[in-house]
Amino acid sequence: MTIWDSIILGIVEGLTEFLPVSSTGHLTIVSKMLGLKIDDPSITGFTAVIQVGAIIAVVLYFWKDIVRIIGAWVGGLTHRERRDEFDYRMGWYVIVGSLPIGIVGFLAKDLISGPLRSLWWVAGALIVWSVVMVAAERLSSKARPLTRITFLDSLVMGLVQCLALIPGVSRSGATISAGLFRGLDRVAATRVSFLFGIPALAGAGVYELKDALSGSVGAAPLLIGTVVSFVVAYASIAWLLRFVAKHSIELFAFYRVLLGIVLLILLSTSTITAT
């Protein structure tokens, strides 16, 4: 991997991590276009590690919220009167919502970094999950703000987040769709998606670090890709929150379907290979 490869992939990661379009799917496609071996463990590790840049962007963007939630959660462990605070409950919701993907990701690591890296899977997931996103948008009541989220909401969103381990589904697309189906408004579902992503993506990045450094990537491209990812992701967060406040996520679904169809055509005509 060259420095230019890492910069390009860092931009792609930063742009797509929090949009419901599948950052892993886009990274897989772009990596293939750059001539990289997408089933190489070091490349898979690289795409996981540079997500840490996007997570740092989330932490900085929501720093005050995160500090408040952690303070309330820690305080509630020792002071019963604080357990009625929303931020205390939100701390537990983030924990509950983050555990499933960590467990499934660890148990299914070989499947995720192997067979599921095929571009056939990416194309199929892009199209199929778009249908789910449109259904979530059109069927949701969008009646509940963030302060009315429940334990069951967080559990459902956490379980659905596991589907994002399939490249092309999209972690944010999965969690936002699940939140909408549960009746949360778009902004609430999106903010929860951001918070759930912090432990999930940070854990994946740390776990995959050894693979990223042991193969064809190297420390310099890894560091540069992570920094670029951070810068671009920070801008993307602000834009997405403004967008979902007033617009449907169906626009992203249409883009996903178009990309999936183009990818299927390229694969069917042997213009590109699946791995």
Task: Kindly report the average pLDDT of the chain as a whole number.
Answer: 91
- 184 has which bridge partners? 144
Residue 49: pLDDT over 90: no
Give the C-alpha separation, 40 to 55, whole Å: 24
Q: Which residues of 144-182 are buried (b: 16+ CB within 10 A; e: fewer)?
A: bebeebeeebbbbbbbbbbbbbbbbbbbbbbbbbbbbbb
* Distance (Å, whole) CA 184 – CA 98: 18
Per-residue pLDDT, 207? 74
pTM > 0.85? yes
Give pLDDT tens digits for 28-48: 999 999 998 887 888 888 888
* Range list of H helices, 247-268: 250-268
Which three-class secondary structure string do you get for 30-98? HHHHCCCCCCCHHHHHHHHHCHHHHHHHHHHHCHHHHHHHHHHHHHHHHCHHHHHCHHHHHHHHHHHHH
Q: What is the pLDDT of residues 2-29, one digit of tens each?
A: 999 999 999 999 999 899 999 989 999 9
Contact 117, 44 (CB under 8 A): yes
**Contact by Cβ (8 Å): 47, 9:** yes
Give tens-digit pLDDT for 220-265. 999 999 999 999 999 999 899 999 988 999 999 999 999 999 999 9
